Structure 1
Amino acid sequence: MIDTACSLSISYKNERALVFGELEISYALSNRRTIIDTARELRVTYVVDVATTAGTLRIPMQSFQTNLRSDALSTLVVFVPGGTAYKGKVLAGQMMFVYRAVKFTDGTEIETEISRAKITDVTPSLSPNKSTMTISGTYEYAKPASPKSISLSNIKYVAFYGDEVTIRSNTNSDLQPGDIVNYDGTDYVAMNIYMGVEISTSELEVRCAPR
C-alpha cells in the first residue's frame, strides 16, 4: 500500500510526494461512518478541498496537523507546496476539508473526511527554491449524541496527569472527541485528539478525562 498526500499534480522546484508506509489514518468526523478493509487497500491519498465561490478547489498537500476537541474550537493547519499558485483563490472565511482517499484493488474508491475548518489565516511564502502556503482554520464540533466505546491498539506511550491520562497509539478511524476510551480497565472520555501527518511519519495523541 502506498500513501501519498498529493492527488493533484503540480510542478514546482524540489517537488516531493508525501508517501507513507502502512498507516491507518482515518477520522470519521462527519455523521457517516466508512468501514475500510485495509487488506484490500491499493493506495491511500490525503487531499484538501477548499469551498470557493467558483466551486470546490482541490489542492495538493505537503502535510497537515489537526487538534480535535468537543469542549473548544478544533484547529486544522494545512501546508501546501507550490502555494503561491493559489494566492487569491484560497481566502479567509472559506471552508476547507481534509479527506483520506482510499483506492482498493478492485477499483473501488472511498473518501473519508478527517477534519474540517473555517479558514482564518492564509500565508503564502516564497524562497529562491520553492513556494509554499500555510492554511489555518478552526471549527466547533458538537459532542456526539451517542458516544462510542473505542479500543486503541498498539499503545506506545501513557502519561497520567492527576485523574487525566494521555495516550499515544495507532490511529483509529472511529475515534471522535467525547467517545469512550478504555485503558487498563478504566473508562475515559476522549477530550482532545491531536493528529499530525507528514512525509513518512504520523502521530496520534489522545488526552482523556475520567468518565
Structure 2
Amino acid sequence: MIDVLVGGQLDSSVYMRRYAFDGSTIKWGYSPGGTVNGIAIARDGRIALAHAYYTSYQVTVLSADGVKLWSYSHSSTSGQDGISVCFDSSGNLIIGCEYHTSSPYYTLRKLDTTGSLLWSAAPNGNTTRCVCVDSNDNVIAGGDNGYIRKYSPTGTLLYSYNHGAAVYGVAVDSSDNVLMTGTRYSFSVTTRKLDPTLTTVAWSADHGNGCYGIAVDKDDNVITVGIVSSSVTTRKYQSDGTPVWTKNHGATVRAVACDLAGNIYTAGDAYSSLEVHRYDAAGNNTALINFGTNLYAISTKTETIPPLAISIGFRSPLPLREISASSLITGIIIYRCYLTGGSGTIQIPMSSFQCRRRIDTKAWLSIVCPSATDALVTQITDRSDGQIVLKRGVKYPDGSEQLDEMMRVDYETLRFDKGSNSASATLTGRSTETYIAKERTVTGISYRPTTDDSRRVRCDIDTYLSPGDTVNLGGAETMTVSEVTIYCSPSQAGMELGET
C-alpha cells in the first residue's frame, strides 16, 4: 500500500498530512509550528520535515506514526527556515536551509540518526534549496547562487557545476547521473542532465518559466514542475530528454514525487480546491487531494508487505543497495513468482529462474518449481490462459518484504518431472516487449570474451538493463547490448550481456 505525505501552509491546525492511496482518507496530521517546505522518509519509516522557523527549530523528525522524535535548530534567528531534507542509506539526515547571520553561510548540514551534527558546508550562498543523495551516499545540493555541489559522505567537496541561475530541484537516476531544475538560465534553460562528475551535460530543456521540483521515476524518466508556462506546469521526459507528455495544474506546482509503481504525484498552489494530482505513467489523472491550502512538499511511502514463507521464494546471494532510483535501502534481494488466469492469481514456489531478452525477439522466462504436487500441477494447467509474473524486491532485516514487478510473460508450457521420491515442474513463457534505449553502468564483471568482434560480458544482475542500452564497462569502454540473460538460484546469480 502506498501512502502520500504532503506539507505546506497551515490548514485546520496542521501543516502536513499522511493520506492513503485513495487521496481522501487521512491517516494523521502534524504541525511543526511553521510552513512545511520539505519532506523525506527514511528506510525505517522515520519522517523528516524541513519547515519555517518555530521556537528556534527548523527541522523536525517524526516516527512512522507521526510522533515527534526530535528537532534540530541550525539558527536561533527567525526567518532562517529549513528548506529541504533527505535521508541517506544509513538513516543520516541531510538538510538544506536558509542562513543569513554571517559568512560563511552554512546552509548544508548532515546529522546522524539522533540529530547530532556530523558536518556542515556553505555551498549555495544564503540558501540551499534542494538536496539528494546518490547510491554511494554522496550528497548533492543546489541553491540560490546557481551552483550544484557534490560532497562525499564525510563532507569533502568532490565536484561543482554552475547552472547560472537559482537551482530549486536535484535528483539522481539509477546510474547516478544528476538531474537539476530551477530558474531559467539566459531565458532558455531550466533543466539539465549531468554526468556523475558534474562535468558533461547530456541534455537540457526549457520549461518556459521557473521550475521548483524534479523527480526521477523507476525507469529513469524525468519529471519537472513549476510555474504555469503556455498552460503547462508539469513535464515528463524520457531519460534521453525526449518529451513524453505535459499537464497543467492550473497554478504553480512546487513539488513532485514518484512511487515504485510509476505513479507521479505533484503538489502546489490551491486551484479549484485541489492541491495534489496523481498521474499514472501514461499521464492519466488518477487521484486528487484537497489539502485546503498551498503545498510545498510531497513524498510517498510504500508500506512493506508482511513476511512470506521462504518456501514460496528464495533469496539471491547478492546484497541490495537500490531497488529503484529514488529509494535507497539495505537488505537481501528476493524473487517471487505468480501465475494469473483461471479463477485467480496463485503464487508458484520457485527454486531458480532464467530469463532472456533480445532485440526483435520475444522475451523468454523459465521458472523451476521444486516439490511440485499433483494439486499444484492441476492449478497451473487450469490457468493456461494466464501470465507468469516474476517480481523482485528486498527482504528487510526485520523480515518484512517489498516487491516490484520485474518481468511478465504469457504462460506457454509446463514440464512435470516426477520421480519415486520427489517431483518438480518447469514453467516457461514468452512475450513481446518494447525497450527504450538508455545508459547503464554494470558492476562485478568476471568474464568478457570477444568472438567475431562481438563482446560478451558476465556481471552482476541489473534488472533495469534492457536490449538496446549502452553499458559502461569501466574507464572509457562502452558496449551496446543486444541480448540480456539473467540466471538466479539460491547458490548463484548473474547476468550475461551480448553485443550486436
TM-score range, shorter chain: 0.7 to 0.9
* 1:21 lines up with 2:321 in the alignment: no
Counterpart AA for 1:181 = V
- Provide Cα deviations, 1:9-68, integer angstroms capped at 9, x if missing partner: 669xxxxx8454334599x9xxxx565535x21x43311010022111112101111111
**How many residues are treated as equivalent by the alignment?**
190
In the alignment, the residues of structure 2 paired with residue 83 and residue 77 of structure 1 have an alpha-carbon distance, to the nearest angstrom, of 15
Q: Residue 158 of structure 1 corresponds to which residue in structure 2?
A: 448
What percent of counterpart residues are identical? Answer: 21
With the length of structure 1 as denominator, give the TM-score of the two structures.
0.77
Instruction: Please give the alpha-carbon distance, in whole angstroms, between the structure 2 residues aligned to 1:25 and 1:172.
Output: 12
Counterpart position of 2:365: 76
Return the offset for 1:152.
Answer: 1.0
Residues 54-98 of structure 1, C-alpha deviations (whole Å, 9 max, x = no match): 111112101111111232011111011122331122133320111
Q: What's the counterpart of residue 99 of structure 1? A: 391
Q: Cα 1:23–1:104, aligned 2, differ >3 Å: closer, same or farther?
A: closer
Partner of 1:14: none
Aligned-pair Cα RMSD in Å: 2.9
Aligned to 1:55: 344
Preserved CA contact (<8 Å) 1:24 1:172: no
The aligned residue for residue 413 of structure 2 is 121
- Determine the C-alpha separation between the residues in 2 that align with 1:104 and 1:56: 25
- One-letter amino acid of the structure 2 residue matched with residue 58 of structure 1: Q
Determine helix, strand or coil for the equivalent of 1:49. Answer: strand
8 A contact 1:70–1:141 mirrored in 2: no
Structure-2-length-normalised TM-score: 0.35
Distance 1:179 1:90 in 2: 35
Match in the other structure for 1:189: 480
Which of these two proteins has the greater Rg computed from alpha carbons?
A: 2
| Equivalent in the alignment of 2:498 | 207
**Structure 1 residue 196, shift from structure 2 partner:** 0.9
SS of residue matched to 2:380:
coil
Instruction: Give, in whole Å, the separation in 2 of the partners of 1:114 and 1:142.
Output: 14
- Measure the CA separation in 1 of the matches of 2:432 and 2:334: 26
Q: CA deviation at 1:122?
A: 0.9
* The one of 461, 465, 468 aligned to 1:171: 461
CA shift digits 1:143-165 (9 cap, x unpaired): 21xx2211111211111123321
Shift, 1:112, TM fit: 2.1
Cα distance in 1 for partners of 2:309, 2:339 equals 13
In structure 2, what residue type is equivalent to 1:56? T
Bigger mean CA offset, 160-169 vs 83-92: 83-92
Measured in 1, the distance between the counterparts of 2:372 and 2:447 equals 36
Q: 1:135 Cα shift?
A: 0.4
1:95-136: CA deviation from partner (whole Å, max 9, x where unpaired) = 011111313347764212232211111122221111211101
C-alpha change, 1:124 and 1:139, in structure 2 (3 Å) is: same
CA contact (8 A) 2:355 2:366 kept: yes
CA contact 1:124–1:132 (8 Å) conserved in 2: yes
Query: Paired residue for 2:356?
Result: 67
Would the alpha carbon gap of residues 141 and 9 (structure 1) be closer, same or farther in structure 2, given more than 3 Å must change?
Answer: same
Q: 1:86 to 1:8 in 2, by over 3 A?
A: farther
Letter in 2 for 1:143: Y
| Distance (whole Å) between structure 2 residues aligned to residue 128 and residue 21 of structure 1 | 31
Structure possessing the higher relative contact order (Cα contacts under 8 Å, 6 or more residues apart): 1
**Cα distance, 1:8 vs structure 2:** 4.6
| CA distance, structure 2, for counterparts of residue 107 and residue 129 of structure 1 | 32
Q: How does 1:7-18 map to 2 (within 5 A)?
A: 7-8=308-309, 18=314
For residue 378 of structure 2, the aligned residue among 77, 88, 94 is 88
Which residue number corresponds to residue 3 of structure 1? none
Distance 1:200 1:94 in 2: 29
Residue type at the aligned position of 1:190: V
CA contact 1:96–1:119 (8 Å) conserved in 2: yes
**1:126–1:76 CA distance, 2 compared to 1 (3 A):** same
Runs of 5+ consecutive residues of structure 2 not aligned to the other structure:
1-307
Distance 1:114 1:133 in 2: 21
Distance 1:53 1:137 in 2: 16
